[in-house]
Amino acid sequence: MWARPPKEEEKDKKRLAKDKESARWLEITEEAAKVVPAPTRVVMVGDRESDIFDLLLLANEKRDFLIRARWDRQLDDSSDRLWQTAEKAPSLGRTTIKVPLP
């Protein structure tokens, strides 16, 4: 679990990538790899702050990411864009999750 620290008065716009809050997603992914048994498939669910290229590079046969996209990325070596492609794609399934109320 992780919670954002209290807001700082001044933000330094020239922070290194490893010092940015979004880099926390890279750290969480590395931590999960250390504690989750090897044959387990992991799906990391992130908000648009986790829409960073370095994180997407970590996807493999045992690790997937579900990320609320922040950028309308270009796909592969084509002129296709993410949002238009996703809107045209057929639904692959649906799952209902019942969340109990306190």
64, 43 in Cβ contact below 8 A?
Answer: yes
Q: What is the pLDDT of residue 84?
A: 93
**Across residues 63-72, what is the average pLDDT?**
87
Q: What residue spans define the domains of the chain? A: 17-87
In Å, how far from its chain's centre is CA 26?
Answer: 9
In which band, very low, low, confident or very high, does the pLDDT at 11 lie, cut at 50, 70 and 90? low
Q: Which residues contact 49 (CB under 8 A, 6 or more apart)?
A: 21, 22, 25, 70
Asked whether residue 90 carries a pLDDT value surpassing 80, the answer given is: yes
d(CA 64, CA 6): 30
Backbone φ and ψ for 65, nearest 5 degrees, come out as -130, 135
Asked whether residue 37 carries a pLDDT value surpassing 60, the answer given is: yes
70, 50 in Cβ contact below 8 A?
Answer: no
In which band, very low, low, confident or very high, does the pLDDT at 47 lie, cut at 50, 70 and 90? confident
50, 67 in Cβ contact below 8 A?
Answer: yes
Name the percent of the chain lying above pLDDT 70: 87
